[in-house]
Amino acid sequence: MQIEVTAAREVADECPLKSFRFYKTKEFSTGFYEIKTGAKNIRTPWWDASVIYGSNGEVLKRLRTLKDGKIKISEEGELLHNENGIAVSGDVRNSWAGVSTLQALFVHEHNSVCDALKKNYPELDDEEIYRHARLVTSAVIAKIHTIDWTVELLKTDTLLAGMRANWYGLLGKKFKDTFGHVGGKILGGLVGLKRPNNHGVPYSLTEQFVSVYRMHSLLPDNLQLRDISATPGPNKSPPLIKEIPMKNLIGLEGEKTLTKIGIVSQIVSMGHQACGALELWNYPMWLRDLIPQNLDGSERPDHVDLPVLEIYRDRERNVARYNQFRRALLLIPISKWEDLTDDKEAIEVLEDVYGDDVEELDLLVGLMAEKKIKGFAISETAFIIFLLMATRRLEADRFFTSNFNEETYTKKGLEWVNSTESLKDVIDRHYPEITLKWLNSSSAFSVWDSPPNTSNPIPLYLRIPH
């Protein structure tokens, strides 16, 4: 699909962004951590599954059952909703179908860990069970992200080996399971190091990581709802019932629709629909008129044109333009548009917008236009940041280094993490009928039954930024 941003008449010969009204980035204190430079955030920068548990005590209090460490879920296995129709979950701001589905799935995971801990350690009280279960669930998510979904996004044998080495080390899983962490981060991997290493700066996800993680082009305009009652055919493809516009699956109205669909249908349907390619002119139209939400999930009056806002945010926050961004990563900058892409139409449009000045190219536009390496869903430029942060998020976190042990996680909890290798394992624990009937791969991130001629057949519901 092609997107056109039309400027107001009075600025038609100037920057199109001037035709929009923007609010400056706000700063909030988290109440538990503040970077010395004064930068603040309302969401935690750690891999702590705050999307499920929340980032402060007030949210957590709403979620807890106060029995056996568990958090709330409906009898039907869906997220609960309050009197205003807002989901009862950790992070409900600007949610959509994919987030809600995974939130519900990992609430089940947390509660199952609680059951296992209660059975093995009956002396633990509610709070102790909760804390151990949260660490275990967070580690499961981190592990899946590292060795399962990242290698599908960057599908090469080298990346598969590299991501597994990040977790297990070059000696491999079997050796590590038998002898523990041996030989430093090269041989033994980052997980289980004796001490965290933040390389001398306060740990956080960098602004550059936010910029390269702008991957909304992966989302479709419609969800293809599948018939899960059907008998699997030779290719295990559930028949299509109907297509639901994605604009009906976001916000408060979207939560109502999801409840009617049911979580099993959500997972199967989303798993059998390929995501979009990260390319120019492939931005979901429903994100052009988005209703933003407050922190509590209530809706705000001003709508958002998200692709325009993404360009604006990078400029506002002084993120380097495409060429300068590449120089900072020691990559070769482009000197002409043909260095960026072979698409003649794209080159014509880039010349129309930026003229001959390649230095003015916005980072996001460059990432979408850039030629892709075979097997990569993302650009080479974005890949460098992904690679650095994939290592940093594990290496700087004490719960994956010095505290990745039985004392912190319990023996049973550590076994739970070590035995989980993919999202398929999590789905199989809670919805074995899905993996038995509809999943035809060892990884839920691989192709289940993707449409033909898709450049990146990764299940769309799994495209969730941290």
Query: DSSP secondary structure string, 172-233?
Result: HHHHHHHH-S-SHHHHH-STT-SS---TTS-----HHHHHHT--GGGS-SEEEEE-TTSPP-
Please report the pLDDT score of residue 187 as a whole number. Answer: 78
Q: What is the four-CA torsion angle of 389, 390, 396, 402, rounded to 10 degrees? A: 180
Q: Choosing from 33, 121, 213, 354, which is the catalytic residue?
A: 213
Q: What is the pLDDT of residue 27?
A: 62
The pLDDT value recorded for residue 41 is: 59
Q: How far is CA 99 from the centre of its chain?
A: 9
CA atoms of 75 and 23, how far apart (whole Å): 41
CATH number of 51-209+217-305+403-462: 1.10.640.10
Is 283 an annotated catalytic residue? no
Any idea where the domains of the chain sit in the sequence?
Answer: 51-209+217-305+403-462
Amino acid type, 34? E
Cα separation, 154 vs 360, in Å, equals 28
pLDDT at 442: 62
What are 326's two structure tokens? 């590449």
How many other C-beta atoms can be found within 10 angstroms of the C-beta atom of residue 335?
10
Q: State yes or no: 145 annotated in a binding site.
A: no
Burial code of 268-303, b = ≥16 C-beta within 10 A, e = fewer? bbbbbbbbbebbbebbbebbbebbbbeeebeeeeee
Q: Which residues of the chain have pLDDT under 70?
A: 1-20, 27-41, 202-204, 233-236, 440-466
Distance (Å, whole) CA 173 – CA 360: 46
Q: What is the pLDDT of residue 216?
A: 92
In angstroms, what CA-CA distances link 115 with 75, 122, 124?
17, 10, 12
